[in-house]
Each structure stands twice: as structure tokens, then as C-alpha cells.
Structure 1
Amino acid sequence: MAQLCEKCVKLLQDFVSLVKRMSSSLIQNIKEYLILISECSCLKQKTSEARQLYKPVLQPHEKEMAREFLQHIETGFEMSPFGKDSLEALRTLAFSENPGLQQSAALYYLHMSQHWSTHLPAEHLESYYALLQSSDMEVQQMSSLSLVNFLLEGNINKEQVVQMGLLEPILELLESGDSTVQCNSCACIMTLAVSESNREAIGSAGVIPLLALANSYDPRVQQNAVGAILNLTRSERIQQVLCREGALPVLILMLESPDSEVQYYSCAALSNVAANSQHHEAMLRVGDQFLLRTLISLLSSSVDKVSSQACVCLRNLATSVNIQADIIAMDLLPKLLSLLASSNSDVQQASIALLWILSQHPANQDALIHGKVLQNLGMLLLTHQTDPGIVGHTACIIKNLSLCKNIQGIIESPCVEGLLQAILSTEIQEESLHYVTCSLGELAKHEGATLHLLEWMNEPLIKCLVRLAGQREHTEPSFQAASIVRHMICHDKVMSLLKCHMEEVQRYLMNFLNHQEIRFQQLGISTLGKLLEDPEFSSAFSQSQLMEHLEQVRQQTEETQELLKMATSQKGS
């Protein structure tokens, strides 16, 4: 009968201490531990080569030890699994040259990563250094998977993993011949790269193996590799490395992957790269406008986050008139209209942001003043008045399109009603209000639009415009609201409605006359001059401080003109 050597006795003693803290769900694995220990040379009979193919039968004293293990597992797990005794035992197992004992430690960590939500003490990361560098494939698989689990659950400090030297063995596992190990190590890099400092630490060392794995035939490996590249693209320095190492063709081809996650990751990575215009030439050089065509085709994706991210990437690329012209020429509008009508908020936000970029250049505006486009914009305003992103971008688009010579389409669409309803909303945010008033102010300059605005003009709207004109905190909405009033007071209906707010009108006009900006002074004088044509306003203002201040402004203007004449004459002489 074979006898246990001192080494195995010591390991068994350590393991008993370890198992005391293990979950009952690991009872089924005890036989595996015993078998691994029994495979030590001290327990193996000197048999023929044929008999070595069979596992040795457990001896009576080994069976007795197994019963003791079961008792410890059933009664001892209430103690802390991360205590000092466990740590020492795990170190012994992890740094052992015996793969079986390393598997025990790896399995323990894997179990803990799946069942515990507590923070893993930093001391336990030392064991990972040995486990990740193990020559045993199963140890690599289990330890890398447990590390991923801990990272995803936030049970390990990401920066601490790198600081303790685990990045190097993780990067080495990227070049493993086992797809499971590759998958797990890519997931580790993807999670670690969420941290800015970790991205810089990963640097170029991780780029080349990740690009190689992005072409893996294993969809799990490919997905995690592209996900890791995505997180690395958040660093401008690593963007340069990726482009230099040929990442752009790889990521662009990944857009056609049948896996929607790979499509999303690669599209998001390209969006990050496209945010830096210096990369645009290289990105568009791949194929004959292949990137633009592929992105536009992805707008029709059934996966919302893919179509949304395709919009973002196109928006980042659309920095020049030529690129925008190419995008519009590729039958973009029908797809964009479909996205504007999406029930997904992110898709709507992304599509309207792309439309906003395209509307900024006059060369595109005629193509965008399309009945269905304007119809969609108007409906977005009417149904999303509390969404600052949608309201703000939509108002900017309408303002840009109102610069066209033919704005009849805007007047006939729900856009005007949408803007007016937005300005009346009590929930509209400051930035959105700025864009809405600017858009209405631009429309009010056109006679046709003024007549259309007149149809909607009523007491609540006049009251709102006067209130906005009188507030001092936000100068642009104040100016634009007063500008709308100025363009509308030519009509008796508006003049009549304003008479209910004479005091408020007088106050904001006084503020305008005292304003440091000349445009406010000029608008105040112009509005006051028009109001004085009405007998009621003229009578109300005749004895007010407003008229006294207007006279002061007139005198100052005359003095300024005299000084200008003197300066001009001196210059001529």
C-alpha cells in the first residue's frame, strides 16, 4: 500500500483549512481534488504502462479523509472565505508546481466569483499572478473567467489589477491557442480599458493581438476583442496606434458582421476615431466610399443601438460640405425619416443630431426642405416638449432651414405650432428655450411666416413673450422674444393684446434702452417708435421715465455722431 509523502500530507492539511470555508455547492468537486492528489508520484504503484492508464483506487484512509472533508464543507462555510487561513492556503495551491492543486485554487476563485458579491481583498490578486501564468489550460480558463466575473461585478479595483502586475500575464493570454482563454482575456482587457489610466498602460502592447483576435472564427472571441478595441479608442494616443497598425480596415469590415454586438462595437469604435477629423481621410480611403455606404445601410438595422451608432458615426464624419453631399446623395433621407419616427429615444436623438449637422450648410438645405422631413420635425416638437435634446436640435434645424429663400414648406408644416407649444411649455429647459426663441425669431423676419404666426397669437402667447423679453438672466431668449413682438406689432391683433401688458412692456423697453449691447438699444428704440404710433400707448408712455430716457439716448446719439464727424474730418485732413 502506498503511503502519503510529507508534501501531500501538508497540502491535505492546508486544503482541509481551505475547504472549511467552501460552499456546499462544491461538495461534488471533492472527489476531483482527491483524485488530483492521488495522482502524485508518491501514491502511484509501480505498474506496467498499460495499468498506468487507470486512475488508482482510493485507499481506506483516503476515503476516511474524504468523509472529513465533507463534514468540514457542511459545517465550516459560515467562516469568512477570504480570511487569513484561506489566503495562505490559496497561495500555496496557486504557486504550486502541481497543476491539480492550481486547479483547486482556480476552481475556488471561480466559485467565489459566481456566488459572492463582496469585494475581493487586494492580497488575493497575488494568487492570480501565478494562476494566469500556469501551464495548465484549465487553470488559465478558470482563473481568467473568475477575474472577468470579479471585474464585471466591480468586486476588484480595475486600476489595482494593473498596479499589481496582472496586465502582463493577461496580455500574454491573448496569444493563447485556446479560444476560451482568448475570450476571457479579451473580456479582461475590455473591462480594464474602461479606466483611462489602464488604457494608457495597455497601450500598443494590446493593440496587435486584439486586432488579430478581431478576425477570430470564434464569435465570442471576436466580440470581446472588438469590444476591447472600442474601449481603447477612447484614448486619442491609442487611436493613433490603432490607425498605424491597420485597425481601420478591420473595424470597417466588422460593420458587415452577422453579429449585432460586433457591428455595434466596431461602429462605436469608428465613431470615436471619427470624432478626430484628422482620421477622416484614412477612414474614407478604405474602398470606394465603402464606409459611408455601409453606415447608411446600417441605419436600417433592426437593432436600435446599431442604427443609432451608425447615425453618430455619420455625424462625426460629416464635417465638410463634400462629405455631406456624398451622404445625402446615397439615399439617406428615407432611412433618416424612418429613424426620426422611431419609438426609441436614443435612435431619435442620434438621427436628429445627424440631420442638424446636415442642415447647417446652405448647399444641403434645399434638399432637406422636404415635406416629410418638416412633418416629422413638427411632430417631434409636439410630442417631445420635455426632451431638451430633441427640442433643441429640432429648433436649430428649423432655424437653419428658414434661411432658405423658400420657407413655405416650414409655414405649412406643424413646425411653427410645435415651436409655439414648446415656448409655452413650463417644463422647457433653458438651453432648449434659447434655440426655440432663436428659431421663431428667424421665422418672424419673413412676412409669410409672420402672417402664419398671427393665426396662433393669443393672450397666453403674448404674455409668455413679454415675460421672456423682460427677464434679464438669459439675454438671448429675451432679445429673440422682444424681436418676435417687434415684428408682430404691425398687426392690430397683436397691438391690442399687448395693451393688457403695458407696464411689463415699458419695463423691458427701459431695460433694452439701458443695455450695453447696441442691438438691444436699437430693438428697444424701434419697438418703442412703433408702439407710440398707437394713441393708447403714446398716452401711457408720454409722462413716463421711458420717454425721458429715450431723450437721453437721442442726445447721446447726436453727440456720438458729432464726435464721429470730427474724427472723420481730422482723418481726411
Structure 2
Amino acid sequence: MGLLCQRCLELLQDIVSFAKRLSSRIVEQIKECIMLVRECCCMKPKGFKVRQLYEPVIQNHEKQAAQEFLNHMETGLGERQLSKETLDALRILAFSENADLQQSAALYYLHMSQHMTAKLPPEFLEPYQALLQSSDLEVQQMSSLSLVNFLLEGYLNKELVVQVGLLEPVLELLESGDSAVQCNSCACIMMLAVSESNREAIGTAGGIRPLLTLAKSYDPRVQQNAVGAILNLTRSENIKNILCSQGALPVLTLLLQSADSDIQFYSCASLSNIATNTDHHKDMLEIGDKFLLRMLVSLMSSSVQKVSSQACLCLNNLASNAEVRDHLQTLDVIPLLLSLLIANSKDVRQASITLLCTMTHPPANMDAVLCKELLTHLVVLMQTERTNPVVVVHAACTIQNLSQSENIEVIIQSQCFDELLQALLNPNNEEEPLQFVASCLAELTKYDITREYLIQRKDKGLIRCLVKLAGQVEHKELSFHAAFVIKQLSHSEKISSELKLLIKDVQHYLMCFLGHPELRFQQLSISTLCTLSEDPEFSKAISQSRLKEQLEQLRQQTEDTQALLRLAISQTESVDSTE
């Protein structure tokens, strides 16, 4: 510091003279105020630790607690490890001003977290408040690590940790200058964020911004845990909005280039979760002029299976937009997807068929040549994963997406069509995959070539299966699509003869359809009855069943409705003419 100028010296002399005129009490108050200001944390640089010139005096009760604690440590972690005496000692040591005593308490918690096989009682969380806020770095490191261990093993209730007020000190540790403390505190947040209520609490307490800062850390452990915490936070719609507003999208997008596969996976999965909300798509795609799409396509070829599958799933969420699908076509994503259909990893196969299903959504530019190539690869997957509901559902959807008039013959001649029929007959398939298979067949049977193929097969098992599924009216969509296929085939004598053997089951589902509240079911039932009634045996059976009464009742209701409509129209017309 340089010498004071004459003017400043005069001012200081004036202050001294003024102070001398004040009472001694006021002077003492000024001294106390200055001392408090000097001791405030705002006067210290971040990460600066004041070197104490004295050791805090150990109080008698602290000495006694420390001695008892040492004696207890010598006996090992037996039944007394969670006793009231242990808790009392931990409280005293944790809230001591002596760093060595605090370290003893933190070390004990760390030891417990590594050897315990039971839940930590809630009352043992109280000393953590002091340990996490300790000014001693070793205490911070050990206490935060033990908290991570307890959470990781499931020995702590995650909601309770937040409820007792430990979230705030953990968030404060995110801004520590020590990478080990940062790493541990990020891991704590990552595990706490598994709970929905905790996610909201973390967002409210301002935990988003420091996590985004640490996601750019040069320490890969810190970076990995920070991005892992962000991933868990993206499971909340509200927190996703906060993340986007605070600049998470560019950070996560750049992290896709990380050399660490875990960081790639976490950031990719985070972006995938955010992309489930189409409101964020515009901002995601504006980063570097669709740079995100190029990075995700590149990651599809990753040798790390979880990264490859997650890239497909993220692209699938973004590809709900037709413009995105067109852009992906220019990046030659289809050939890459076809190669992934036969990958060694089940997750990769599932993710690739999911994206392929979205990419073939009309109006996709799929000519017969590309369609044939696609079906050639798809059949291998269908044969490998016959009982996998994800594969069955998306394979059926993909084939249905391809069912344009120019592709029907290619589809029918492919083995994929036979796999569809096998999927319908497979007793291991549940309602959802059966529904999508039946929907695909219903779409295909709108074409003559498909109907002729199925009639020539005269597959008795298929007809029985369709009738059975049509009768499962509690599964509305599955029942309707199965009945639709029957209707499409029922004009053939070959199929009609098989239906005669199942006439009671056919009458049952037609009866249910006639009484169904949805008009499409009634119309399908009536049109099927009209076709079947062309056969004398069917006509006779229908006339002798309750179907005839139901039809008459429906006819009467229709006539009554028409009469009311005519009346309403005539009254409206008379009012118009009066005006």
C-alpha cells in the first residue's frame, strides 16, 4: 500500500479526534462491528481456509464423549453401533468446534456406511447437519462420502434426507473447491433425484445451475456424477423446463462428444427425456443448425451398446416431426438402422426397430426396392424376437406403415407376412402385441392380393384364432381388428365353411357388436351379417337366433332416430321460411 496523501491523513485525524470525543461504550461497539464484518464469509475468497492460530479448547463433556467413543470403537461395530450412547457421542463430536473431534464422528459414519447391513435410523441424520457444514475439508469429504454410501445401498429414506434439511448443505458442497467433495455431493443429488418430490425440492432450492456448471468440470468423476444427477432430474416435466431455461441444452449436446461413454449415455438419455416434450424440439434443433441430429446419428454407431440404443431412442422422440424425419433421411439413417436390427445387443435391436417404425411413418419415401431390403432385415429380427412385445409391436407397425398399394405384393411375398401370422397365433403374446398385429392384418386385407393369399392358404388355425380374438370384446381394439379381418375374408366359400363350424362363437361376438355403444362396431356387425347371410345355412341359423331380435330392435331405433331427425329438420326449415 502506498503512503496516504495529505487530505486522507487530515480526514483520519478528524475521525480520531471525533472518536476521542465519543464515550468508551460507543467505541467498543464500533470495534465489535468491525470484528464481525472481518469474520464474515463474504470477506474471504472462495475456497480460502483461515489458518487457526489456536486450537479450540476441548470442553469437559467433549473429552468424556471422545473417551467413550474411543472405548466404543475398540469393541467394534457390533450390536451397540446404533445405540443411544453412540448417537449422543456423535452429536457432541459433530457439533464440536474441534476439527479432530468432527473427523472422528465423520470417520465413524464412513465406517458404518461401509459395513452396515441395515437401515440407518432417522435420528442419526441429525449430526450430518454439522458435519456437512464443517469448515474442515476432511470432514466434508468423509461425511459426504458416507451419505453417498448409505443412499447407494438403500439404507436411507431419500425423502427423509430432504425433509430433515440436509439438501441445502449438500447443495452448498457443490460449490466446494475440492473435487472429491464435488463428486460426492453430485452423487448425493443424483440419488436423491430418484424421488419425484425431491426433484422438485432440488429445483426450488436452486440446485440446477451448480449442476450445469459441474457438468463442464475438468474432473471426469465430477462431470459424470453431475450429468447423472441431471438425468434423474429430467424425469420431472417441471424440472425439464427449468433446465432448458437455464441453458442445459447446449451443455448436454456438447457432452455427447465426451470421451467418457457414461457421460455420453447420461447426456443422451437426458436429451431423450427432454425430447419427449415436443415444445422443446425447436430449441434442441436450433443448436448449431441440427448439430444434435448429426451427433446422435454418429452415436448410433457407437461400440458401447447403451450409448447406441439411447441415441436411437433420442432420435425416435425427435423424429415425431416430419421435417426431422426428412433430414434424417438425408443423413442415410435407414441403412444404419437396418444394420442395427441384427446387433448383438437386445437393447440396440429394440431401440433400432422403434426408430425404424417412426421413420417409416407415412408419407415416407419407400419404394418397392427399399421396402424389400427393409423387410429382408426385419424378418431376421422377427424370427429372433418372436416373444418380445417391443419387437412384435413395432415390427407390425412398420409393416403397416409400408402397406401402400405399390408395396403390398412385396410384403405378402416376404417372410415377414408369415411371421405376422405366426405372431397372431402365438399363445405367449399378450393383448398389446396382438392388437398391433391384428391392426396390421386388417390394413393389409383391404387389398385383393392379401385376401386371395389368405383364402388360398385356408388356414383353419388362423380362422379359429380370429374368431376367438373377435370374441374378446373387453379388449376393444383387438376384438374390432380381428372381426374386420373375418369380414374381409367371409365372402369366400372356403372361409365361410370354416366359420360354420364356429357359428356359436361368431354369433356371440356379432351379438356383442350389435349392442356396442360405438357405431363402427354396429356397422361392422351388420356388414358381416349381410355377407354371411348369403349362405343358406348361415341365414337359417341367424333367423333362429337372438341376432334377429337384436337386428329388429336396432332397426326400430334407427327408424325412430330418423323420424326425429326429419321432424327437427322440418321445424328448422319452417323457422327459416318465417324469418
Q: What TM-score do you get using the length of structure 2 for normalisation?
A: 0.82
Q: Which residue among 65, 71, 75 is the counterpart of 1:20? A: 71
* Local SS of the residue matching 1:80: helix
Which residue matches 1:494?
Answer: 495
* Equivalent-residue separation in structure 2 for 1:272 and 1:530 (angstroms): 50
* Larger deviation, residues 197-206 vs 439-448: 197-206
One-letter amino acid of the structure 2 residue matched with residue 432 of structure 1: P
2:142 alignment partner in structure 1: 142
The answer to whether the 8 Å contact 1:381/1:422 transfers is: no
Q: Decide whether the 8 Å contact of 2:175 with 2:210 is kept in 1.
A: yes
The alpha-carbon distance between structure 1 residues 457 and 19, as it changes in their structure 2 partners (threshold 3 A), is farther
After superposition, where does 1:546-557 map in structure 2 within 5 Å? 546=547, 550=551
Q: How does 1:500-515 map to 2 (within 5 A)?
A: 500-515=501-516
Structure 1 contact 359–368 (Cα < 8 Å) conserved: no
Deviation at 1:539, TM superposition (A): 5.0
Deviates more, 1:254-263 or 1:425-434: 425-434
CA distance in 2, matches of 1:480, 1:243: 42
Farther-moved stretch of structure 1 (130-139 vs 9-18): 9-18
**What's 2:121 paired with?**
121
Give the secondary-structure state (helix, strand or coil) at the position aligned to 1:81.
Answer: helix
Distance of 2:129 and 2:555 partners within structure 1: 82
Aligned equivalent of 1:448:
449
Does the 8 Å CA contact 2:299/2:308 hold for their aligned counterparts? Answer: yes
2:78 maps to which residue?
Answer: 78
Give 1:102 shift. 1.8
Q: 1:15 to 1:357 in 2, by over 3 A?
A: same
Distance 1:206 1:556, change over 3 A: closer
**In the aligned structure 1, how far is the partner of 2:368 from the partner of 2:275?**
25
Partner of 2:338: 337
Shift of 1:254: 0.4
For 2:164 and 2:515, locate their aligned partners in 1 and report how far apart those are by CA, in whole Å.
65
Give CA-to-partner distance per residue, 1:535-567, whole Å, 9 cap, x none: 444455565554565566667667766776777
Counterpart of 1:457? 458
Which residue matches 1:57?
none
Q: Aligned-pair distance for 1:519?
A: 3.1
CA drift of 1:325 comes to 0.9
CA distance in 2, matches of 1:494, 1:405: 27
The residue type equivalent to 1:424 in the other structure is L
- Kept after mapping to 2: 8 A contact 1:325/1:364: no
> SS of the residue aligned with 2:259?
coil
Contact 1:175 1:182 in 2 (8 A): yes
In structure 2, do the counterparts of structure 1 residues 279 and 518 end up closer, same or farther at CA, with 3 Å as the change threshold?
closer
The answer to whether the Cα contact below 8 Å between 2:129 and 2:169 also exists between their aligned partners in 1 is: yes
Deviates more, 1:373-382 or 1:102-111: 373-382
Query: Are the structure 2 counterparts of residues 89 and 462 from structure 1 closer, same or farther at C-alpha, using a change threshold of 3 Å?
Result: same
Distance change in 2, residues 1:21/1:560 (3 Å): same
How far apart in 2 are the matches of 1:155 and 1:384?
39
Contact persistence 2:514–2:525 (CA under 8 A)? yes
1:281 matched residue in structure 2: 282
Cα distance in 2 for residues equivalent to 1:223 and 1:182:
11
Q: Per the alignment, do residues 93 and 449 of structure 1 end up closer, same or farther by CA in structure 2, a change over 3 Å counting?
A: same
Q: Aligned partners of 2:517 and 2:120: how far apart in 1?
A: 62
Residues 159-199 of structure 1 deviation map (CA, whole Å, 9 limit, x = unaligned): 22222222222222212221111111111111112222222
Q: CA deviation at 1:265?
A: 0.7
Report the equivalent of 1:107: 107
Q: Does 1:521 align with 2:572?
A: no
Identity %: 58
2:256 is matched with which residue? 255
Cα deviation 1:401-459 (Å, max 9, x = unaligned) = 22454322221222221221122122221222222211111111111112222344322
CA distance in 2, matches of 1:562, 1:8: 98
Which residue identity lines up with residue 18 of structure 1 in the other structure?
Answer: F
Larger deviation, residues 535-544 vs 256-265:
535-544
Quick one: which amino acid aligns to residue 227 of structure 2?
Answer: V
Q: State the distance in 1 between where 2:94 and 2:568 align.
A: 89
- Correspondence list, 1:159-308, <5 A: 159-203=159-203, 205-308=206-309
Instruction: Report how far residue 530 of structure 1 moved.
Output: 2.8
* Counterpart residue identity of residue 295, structure 1: L
SS in 1 for 2:320: coil
Query: Distance between the aligned counterparts of 2:143 and 2:558, measured in 1?
Result: 81
Q: Does 1:95 align with 2:146?
A: no
Contact 2:368 2:406 in 1 (8 A): no
Provide the C-alpha distance between the structure 2 equivalents of 1:275 and 1:473, rounded to a whole number of angstroms: 30
Match of 1:348 in 2: 349
Matched AA of 1:15? A
Letter in 1 for 2:285: L
CA distance in 2, matches of 1:325, 1:134: 56
Q: Deviations over 1:298-326 (max 9, x none)?
A: 11122222122112211221232111111
Amino acid at match of 2:116: W
Task: Tell me whether 480-489 or 250-259 shows the greater mean CA deviation.
Answer: 480-489
d(CA) in 1 for partners of 2:237 and 2:515? 48
Residues 216 and 545 (structure 1), Cα distance of their counterparts in 2 relative to 1, 3 Å cut: closer
1:441-499 Cα offsets, whole Å, 9 max, x none, are 11111111122223443221111112222333223322322221222233333233223
- 2:66–2:101: 8 Å Cα contact kept in structure 1? no
Matches of 2:514 and 2:239, distance apart in 1: 55
Question: Secondary structure of the residue that 1:20 maps to in structure 2?
Answer: helix
**1:474 equivalent in alignment to 2:475:** yes
Q: Matched residues in 2 for 1:246 and 1:368: separation? A: 44
The SS at the match of 1:205 is coil
Q: Is the 8 A contact 1:308 1:346 kept in 2?
A: yes
1:181 aligned counterpart, secondary structure: helix
Q: SS in structure 2 opposite 1:175?
A: coil
Measured against aligned partners, the alpha-carbon deviations of 1:353-385 in whole angstroms (never above 9, x if no partner) come to: 222333333245559962232234444444434
- Given the alignment of the two structures, is residue 151 of structure 1 paired with residue 151 of structure 2, yes or no? yes
Which deviates more from structure 2 when the two are superposed, residues 384-393 or residues 175-184?
A: 384-393
Q: Which amino acid aligns with 1:151?
A: L
More displaced 10-residue stretch of structure 1: 293-302 or 207-216:
207-216
Matched residues in 1 for 2:567 and 2:92: separation? 96
Secondary structure of the 2:501 match is helix
Following the alignment from structure 2 to structure 1, what is the Cα–Cα distance between the partners of residues 442 and 508? Answer: 21
CA distance 1:422–1:96, change in 2 (3 Å): same
Which shifted more, 217-226 or 238-247? Answer: 238-247
Say if 2:62 and 2:96, in contact at 8 Å, map to a contact too.
no
| Counterpart amino acid of residue 278 in structure 1 | D
CA distance in 2, matches of 1:491, 1:220: 68
How far the C-alpha of 1:244 sits from its partner, in A, is 2.5
What does 1:426-441 align with in structure 2 at a 5 Å threshold?
426-441=427-442
Secondary structure at the counterpart of residue 509 of structure 1: helix
1: CA distance, partners of 2:284 / 2:487: 49
Unaligned runs of 5+ in 2: 1-55, 575-579
Tell me if structure 1 keeps the 8 A contact 2:215–2:224.
yes
Distance (whole Å) between structure 2 residues aligned to residue 559 and residue 106 of structure 1: 83
Q: Which moved more, 1:432-441 or 1:230-239?
A: 230-239
**Gap runs ≥5 in structure 1:** 23-72
Equivalent residue pairs, number? 518
Letter of the aligned partner of 1:168 in structure 2?
E
Deviations 1:309-349 (A, max 9, x none): 11221122123211111122211112222332234333333
Task: Give the TM-score normalised by structure 1.
Answer: 0.82
* Counterpart secondary structure, 1:176: coil
* Deviation at residue 116 of structure 1 after TM alignment: 0.7
Separation in 1 of the partners of 2:547 and 2:345?
52
Q: Counterpart of 1:531?
A: 532
Other structure's SS at 2:343 match: coil
